[in-house]
Structure 1
Amino acid sequence: MSNEFINHLPKLSDSYVLTEEQINDFQKNGHIFLKQVSNQEEIEVFRPIVGDMVRNLNQESRQMHERDTYGKAFIQISNIWENSLAIQHFVFAKRFAKLAADLLGVDGVRIYHDQALFKEPGGGHTPWHQDQIYWPLDTDKTITMWMPIVNIPQEVGSMTFASESQKLGYLSKLAISDESHKTLKEYIENKGIATINYGAMNAGDATFHSGWTLHSAPGNPTDYMREVMTIIYYADGTKVMEPDTNARNSDLARWLPGLNAGDLAASRLNPLLFKK
């Protein structure tokens, strides 16, 4: 891919201005929905590039009925930015990173990793879980942007969030599974925690949620792919925590290569994407 092509990509460097009310709502509830974080023209450029890369990197060949619940939930390709300068341009966008920093109330953010999450036609639900059980990051200043790059209708919808659940911290070590769904669903119901699904979303709309926010997602009853890009950020200055699970040990090796407990979480894979 030529430098000339990269230079002609949408810049994604301008700011998306948040109101104080929006920031306060995110910090209270642990999630927020924002319209047109990326516009139609930008999505039209990046969507086919992301789609081609997902198809090239996808190694899932099993039929849907042969997979477990996690396997039915989505095709998952992580750190897709490492494979494409154009996708890196999108994932490293200053606009997105500044939004993450503003919502977290921090001066700067680094990337943890990205994920393309493509839910196939007939794909299953994503069980209730907390993202941060996987991350060996010694902070609660973490956030994920979840952006569809196609229009998604009401019956597919956004993720479902349990409001203010991020304030409860580390609730369960259960990995994403039928067990996590049952256990956390019962917890939400027993505690009377309010949940919200933002419904239909247009390509370029986005939700942001805290690393500790409980969330799930419906299945895909439609006959076309639900294509989503996610980017995980954390506050600059965060240190690596001592991994307490196999999942966190695996994440440390993959997403924070060469680092140990107590080190600054700033490996070659975690560049600073925004600083005030």
Structure 2
Amino acid sequence: MTTPTQTSADELGTPYGGLTPTATADLNRDGFVHLSGVLSPETIARYEPTITSEVIRLNTQHLPLAERDTYGKAFLQVSNLWRENERVKELVFSPRLAAIAARLLGVHAVRLYHDQALYKEPSGGITPWHADQYYWPLSSDRTITLWLPLQETGSDLGPLAFARGSHHFSSGRDLPISDESERVIEQAVAEQDFEDVVEPFALGDASFHHGWTFHHAGPNRGAVPRRVMTVIYMDADIRVTEPTNAHQVNDRAWMPGTGIGQVPDTPLNPVLFDGRSS
């Protein structure tokens, strides 16, 4: 008899059958995709308690919500949990998830940039409009982020929302997550008539978004934390470039020892899927 643990672990290593033939084109057109049934509820149930306990253990934000700035109210953020816990590593290193990322990007292989747990507390504030790629000193936009809620996520919990097609729009790319990015990008989204796509996530759903796609999230009006695990993937052949802002200088720490112009082939950035060897 197969145990639930074996079933969950096996699912992480088996292909996802939900991608349509147009999935890559859909990502290129819209800047994001929302996929159903990426993981089963049983698999989520195996990993959520461990991720949550690690977030509680490693969280360094202890100010009351009322005393934090906009960024601090948006979520509790803990990165590279895979280095702290072997069970979390199983999820982050999942061939199933990495293969989806490679297929959507249209590349033969992807490597890990880093993971992030993003927990929006009850009464937590908005996540301001922004684009992730602003933070990354990388040579191309062949990057993609998995956003995996660890509970059913209705509009009350603040699901991630996307400006459809905004990855083709360059204005606002020079802004970090802030009150300014919220104001400037919200105005640009309205002026450019980008659709603000806000959808609930069923348990097991996940989204993948392009590095330059503008996105945001509403506040958590629910009574429980909005628990989310993210994994950032990059083209396995991508290279490190000269940083263009202070955040990119800091982000070079995710790729230790990698020089400008080099592929970040480090122990922290393993190749998680390579279609040429599968």
Q: Distance in 2 between matches of 1:185 and 1:167?
A: 16
TM-score normalised by L of structure 1: 0.94
Tell me which residue corresponds to 2:207: 207
Overall identity of the aligned pairs, in %:
39
Aligned twin of 1:16: 16
Structure 1 Cα separation of the partners of residues 244 and 272 of structure 2: 28
Gaps of 5+ in 2: none
Contact 1:157 1:201 in 2 (8 A): no
Q: Within 2, Cα distance between the matches of 1:28 and 1:227?
A: 28
2 CA distance for matches of 1:172 and 1:49? 35
Where in structure 2 are the equivalents of 1:217-256 lying within 5 Å?
217-252=217-252, 254-256=253-255
Kept after mapping to 2: 8 A contact 1:29/1:163: yes
Per the normalisation by structure 2, the TM-score is 0.93
1:157, CA displacement in angstroms? 4.6
C-alpha offsets along residues 45-95 of structure 1, whole Å, 9 cap, x if unaligned?
111111111110011111100000000000000111110111011100000
After superposition, the Cα gap between the structure-2 partners of 1:240 and 1:111, relative to the gap in structure 1 and judged at 3 Å, is same
**Aligned partners of 2:173 and 2:212 also within 8 Å:** no
SS in 2 for 1:233: strand
Alpha-carbon distance in structure 1 between the residues aligned to 2:77 and 2:29: 30
- From the superposition, tell whether residues 8 and 24 of structure 1 become closer, same or farther in structure 2 (CA, over 3 Å): closer
Aligned letter for 1:251? D
1:177 aligns with 2:181: no
- RMSD of the TM alignment (CA)? 1.5
The answer to whether the 8 Å contact 1:144/1:232 transfers is: yes
Instruction: Report the alpha carbon displacement of residue 202 of structure 1 after superposing the two structures with TM.
Output: 2.1
Gaps of 5+ in 1: 1-5
SS of the counterpart of 2:89?
helix
How many residues are paired up? 269
Q: Distance in 1 between matches of 2:8 and 2:58?
A: 23
CA contact (8 A) 1:133 1:170 kept: no
Superposition map of 1:47-86 within 5 A: 47-86=48-87
Distance, in Å, in 1 between the alignment partners of 2:272 and 2:223 is 36
Aligned pairs for 1:18-37 (under 5 A) are: 18-37=19-38
2:208 counterpart SS class: strand
